Chain A
Amino acid sequence: MENKRTCLYDKHEALGALIQPFGGFDMPIQYSTIVEEHNAVRHDCGVFDVSHMGEVLVGGKDAERFVNLIFTNDVTDMPEGKILYGMMCFPDGGVVDDLLVYKMTEGRFLLVINAANIDKDWAWIQQQAEGYDVVLDHLSDHYGQLAVQGPNAEVVMEEVLGIPCRELTFYTFKTLGDVIVSRTGYTGEDGFEIYAEPEYIRECWDRLIDSGRCKPCGLGCRDTLRFEVGLPLYGDELSADISPVMAGLSMFVKLDKPDFIGREALARQKAQGVSRKLVGIELNDKAIPRHGYTVLKDGQPIGEVTTGYHTISTDKSVCMALIDAGQATLGNEVEIQIRKKTFPGVVCKKKFYDKHYKK
């Protein structure tokens, strides 16, 4: 099957981006280098085309009750303009997807889902909706999306795009006609995301690039940025086999709200503990632990690396890894198999760089 293209594909090509498949789309991985783009977001401002993300609108009389059924976080009495992060889970606690829920108006919620999971999620959501008075709209093709990220994102949004946004607090949004602007992102820096029809997204992109005040950034640095601040990526740190409790994301699972899919399993995991836990591991060598590499303790396998890099912001070889819960204590000395050799590492927090959100 042909990969899909976002509404900015021609612009990525014109900028000479390295383009590779991701989540069913041909996406820009880098325009200059991952290091340059990463640093632009950490210290100045960068823009990402994230139009591959999916959107599903849930409306109707039972919308709130239905979103609460499929979502681990609690949307009860959520104010309009507020955003919550959480997961959709299978009954066994495994994750269908992680997502953002935007409360648009009373009884209307916008679900923002991962590109790679769009078809699976849409089928799952429709399947669960039986017996609920809800209207489901799949809007993934309707919305393009930009992420403007970095310490200068606010001033770039206001001065280059003319979008007033300083009043937006973290994880809130506003609508300007059909345009949604939220103070959200996936980089650990302050920043905004804009959802709009393709024409407006293209216009914003051009203005941002032409201004010279915002660097085009690809998915390469999106991954290094999110990794450094310990944000999970579905498929690496969350999956049908990795529950939010294993991933250390219990704070987004509200067991005290009305029943939801996966509640029983997740409650049990929380009460009785899990067999595997997601941890950080730091190596004192430059060798880089990569996804799928084996983690060992005294020569015995205890788990696998989920994501690893030599970090750009802190110049260290570190990874997140899913390991036996009994080994997941801070300071535990482990080894990682990298090709033919094993390298010693120490279990640490899975946040390698501090977030700089403007709350």
Chain B
Amino acid sequence: MAKVIEGLRYSESHEYVRVEGNYGYVGITDYAQHALGNVVYVDMPEVDDEVTAGEEFGAVESVKAASDLISPVSGTVVEVNEALEDEPDLVNKDAFENWIIKVELSDASELDNLMDATAYSAYVEKL
């Protein structure tokens, strides 16, 4: 059973955002890492890049295939998780601990468009 954590916001394309103040840590969910299998590469944007809610900002590659990363929020990338450059499989080990980008949110109201843990659990249940 895929792990879902309380307090995070979730998108239908299986990204999460953990909000701290005006910043959001964005990664893929446990469900997504499990569905992908062994993650061998994470294609990340660069610091200062702009991301837009609903738009692609990179990709997670498993052995088999590349999956686009869709940003759940809009804003400016202030940090990327450099540990994933050498150890992309950290995403498999703990998807929620190993976020991919830290975004300075430009529009916190976008968070209301995302699911909470209960809604996301129900969503993956049906897949």
Chain A residues close to B by CB (< 8 Å) = 18, 29-30, 33-35, 220, 223-224, 286-288, 290, 309-310, 312, 317, 338-339
Contacts and interface: CB of A to CB of B under 8 A. Distances in A.
Name, among B41, B59, B64, B88, the residue most crowded by chain A CB atoms within 10 Å (CB to CB): B64
> DSSP class of A's interface residues: helix, strand, loop or mixed?
mixed
Interface in B41-73: 41, 43, 59, 61-66
Max chain B CB contacts within 10 Å: which of A286, A309, A338? A286
A34 B63 contact: yes
B43 A287 contact: yes
B63 A339 contact: no
B77 to A, nearest CB: 15
B7 interface: no
B41 A339 contact: no
B40 interface: yes
B121 interface: no
B24 to A, nearest CB: 22
A223 B60 CA distance: 20
A224 B63 contact: yes
Contacts, number: 41
A339 B37 contact: no
Contacts of A290: 65-66
Nearest to B35: A18
B37 A220 contact: yes
A18 B64 CA distance: 13
Given A224-B63, A288-B66, 10 more contacts: A18-B37, A33-B38, A34-B37, A35-B38, A220-B37, A286-B40, A286-B85, A287-B43, A290-B65, A310-B41
B59 to A, nearest CB: 6
A286 B40 CA distance: 8
Given A34-B37, A34-B38, A35-B38, A339 B64 contact: no
B37 A286 contact: no
B61 A288 contact: yes
B36 to A, nearest CB: 11
A34 B64 CA distance: 8
B41 A286 contact: yes
Contacts of B65: 290
B40 to A, nearest CB: 5
A220 B62 CA distance: 11
Nearest to A18: B37
Contacts of A33: 37-38
A171 B46 CA distance: 52
Contacts of B37: 18, 30, 33-34, 220
Nearest to B40: A310
A34 B37 CA distance: 8
17 contacts: A18-B37, A29-B64, A33-B37, A33-B38, A34-B38, A35-B63, A220-B64, A223-B64, A286-B85, A286-B88, A287-B41, A287-B43, A287-B61, A288-B61, A290-B65, A310-B63, A339-B66
B9 to A, nearest CB: 26
Contacts of B64: 29, 34, 220, 223
A339 B88 CA distance: 18
A220 to B, nearest CB: 6
Contacts of A223: 64
Nearest to A38: B63
Contacts of A286: 40-41, 85, 88
